[in-house]
Structure 1
């Protein structure tokens, strides 16, 4: 479905055209008469889509909060909100029960538990009837431990007991939900849950993509002219992939920003790859996950052993609900090196091809015309 904001811009531009006397005369009243009904339809669609979005946002806020449900909320939303509130009360009780089985200050993230539940079950028939104990159990593992106790006569003895351990790996949690609850979890479900979690916990949208993780090795930036020349000489000649690498190298040291990408020298991982390819006339999507999906659909993926300069390398470091849970993309530079925009370093860097166990896809868009 079209993005309401883009339709809104179209409608605004069209209405402006109708209200401009000179423009009306330029295009002619006949054309205006033909276009007017379509303009009105666009305006109506935008209004409806905007209203739906507002209802969804209100349903989310009201489900997580105890504020009064307005009479303006449609009845179908009201019923789902009330049922979700009832579900959350039961979930909170089950979470507390599970936390009581933990040690060392461990505890479940109740917002995460409820955000995933909301994503999976809001809108279904009576989620309050779902077995909440089984659901919450998907978020914990168990471990046997030994402790020393003293009996009434002062004798010490060893006791083996079981303690609950919170699971922090979302992939494991989702697998548990599928196996235990018999609920298929889609990429869209994961993305929605992540968005809900960030909105409720932090009051902000979830981060889109990046590489905010620990294992960074052998990164560099700001190569000297001599070093760049040496790298260029090591690359094959007359090849699109080589040109992409050279273009990406012109961005070494450029600042990282998702919000400002494309403004001045700012870039993020997927904008760097998109920009580099665009310079040689090849258009790829705007995010890492969609670039990966695009390559799979075009059947231009390659094996790691066949990587050549200019190929794309995709990583999945954590579930984010997007295609293959892709979180990062970089340009293979040859010789086991990669050029990518690093979130943690705040700039475009040239380094060893890192985290082999997190690389999930390799592709060659530069073979496209």
Structure 2
């Protein structure tokens, strides 16, 4: 379906043509007569799309921020908003309970908790009857700790107690929701939840995929011939991972561009991995986020401690509405190094495996063939 904004521009331009006498004479009344029915259809479509979008936006705002629900809003939406508000009241209470079990200033991101709930349950019958305690538990882990306490007799002894710790990894949260709530969380719901989160918390749409960040640390602009030779010699012989790293090295210094990727030597992070794997006969999707989803669906993910040369490393630096909020991908080169197409440096670089707290997934597509 065409984008409402695009249709709106078309409609505005066409209506202007109909209302401008000189333009009407220029294009001829015959053409205008032919186009008029289609113009009216476009106007109706734009109106319907705009109305639906407004209802959705209003429902989101009213659910999170309160306010009077207009009698002009369809009864269906009014009912869903009321149910969601009731659910949020219960969720707030459960979130507060969990926060009271935390230490070191930790707390749950209540907007994240409610954004995911909204994405999963808005429009469902009586979502307020869902076990919110079980749902909120999907966002925390528990850890046993010890502390010294004094009993009534004044004797000190060591006590074991449990502390709740917020989970920040969205992949783990969604896995918990599927296991504990007994539902499937499709990619579309994850993307929708991220969009809701960003709009409510920051008042802006979630940014699109890209590795456009101010600084990358521990990068190497280039390698001397001697360093390059050492790297080749350190790679295992007759191994697909070795071949992948050698292909990645062949692109070192190539210019970065999302718009021109695939043209000449231009590449971005996901095109680099796409191109490399294509050279060894393995096809993976075209974006970092979709490559990650592909790897999960194919059950070819690995742990960080098991990384070998040629594996993929995925980063999530900020909410972006894509699968697992993936924003970047690179090729693990072994020895704690990675080769990736860097936006900030404008080229393909070889550097330390950076931002360990932002690495969210590791995978090995080269076992597929």
In the superposition, the TM-score normalised over structure 2's length comes to 0.68
Structure 2: runs of 5 or more not aligned: 229-248, 261-265, 273-284, 295-306
| Structure 1 segment 7-22 matched on structure 2, within 5 A | 7-21=7-21
Counterpart for residue 80 of structure 1: 80
> 2:171 and 2:51 mapped to 1: Cα distance?
34
Spell out, residue by residue over 1:320-349, the C-alpha distance to the aligned partner (whole angstroms, 9 max, x if none): 5535754236799xxx9856343xx47556
Counterpart for residue 282 of structure 2: none
Residue 29 of structure 1 deviates from its aligned partner by 3.1
Cα distance change on mapping 1:290 and 1:98 into 2, 3 Å: closer
> 1:78 and 1:201 mapped to 2: Cα distance?
23
Query: What SS does the corresponding residue of 2:205 show, helix, strand or coil?
Result: coil
> 1:286 and 1:27 mapped to 2: Cα distance?
44
Structure 1: runs of 5 or more not aligned: 231-244, 274-284, 295-303, 308-312, 364-369
Counterpart for residue 55 of structure 1: 55
State yes or no: 1:190 paired with 2:190: yes
Number of residue pairs aligned between Structure 1 and Structure 2 = 319
Cα distance change on mapping 1:47 and 1:353 into 2, 3 Å: farther
Counterpart for residue 234 of structure 1: none
Q: Is the 8 A contact 2:315 2:329 kept in 1?
A: no
Spell out, residue by residue over 1:113-156, the C-alpha distance to the aligned partner (whole angstroms, 9 max, x if none): 11111111001111111111000111111111111111122211
Counterpart for residue 34 of structure 1: 34
> 1:271 and 1:324 mapped to 2: Cα distance?
15
Q: Is the 8 A contact 1:188 1:321 kept in 2?
A: no
Residue 31 of structure 1 deviates from its aligned partner by 3.2
Query: What SS does the corresponding residue of 2:117 show, helix, strand or coil?
Result: helix
Cα distance change on mapping 1:76 and 1:340 into 2, 3 Å: same
> 1:42 and 1:196 mapped to 2: Cα distance?
29
Q: Is the 8 A contact 1:292 1:361 kept in 2?
A: no
> 1:31 and 1:104 mapped to 2: Cα distance?
71
CA-based RMSD:
4.8
Q: Is the 8 A contact 1:314 1:362 kept in 2?
A: no
Counterpart for residue 102 of structure 1: 102
Q: Is the 8 A contact 2:208 2:321 kept in 1?
A: no
| Structure 1 segment 1-369 matched on structure 2, within 5 A | 1-21=1-21, 23-25=23-25, 27-211=27-211, 216=216, 218-219=218-219, 251=255, 269=268, 289=289, 315-317=314-316, 320-322=320-322, 326-328=326-328, 340-342=341-343, 345=344, 347-348=346-347, 350-352=349-351, 358=361
> 1:247 and 1:28 mapped to 2: Cα distance?
57
Cα distance change on mapping 1:34 and 1:108 into 2, 3 Å: same
Query: What SS does the corresponding residue of 1:152 show, helix, strand or coil?
Result: coil
Query: What SS does the corresponding residue of 1:351 show, helix, strand or coil?
Result: strand
> 1:123 and 1:214 mapped to 2: Cα distance?
40
Spell out, residue by residue over 1:215-274, the C-alpha distance to the aligned partner (whole angstroms, 9 max, x if none): 9555356x8xx99xx9xxxxxxxxxxxxxx99996856x9xxx9xx89xxxx9958998x
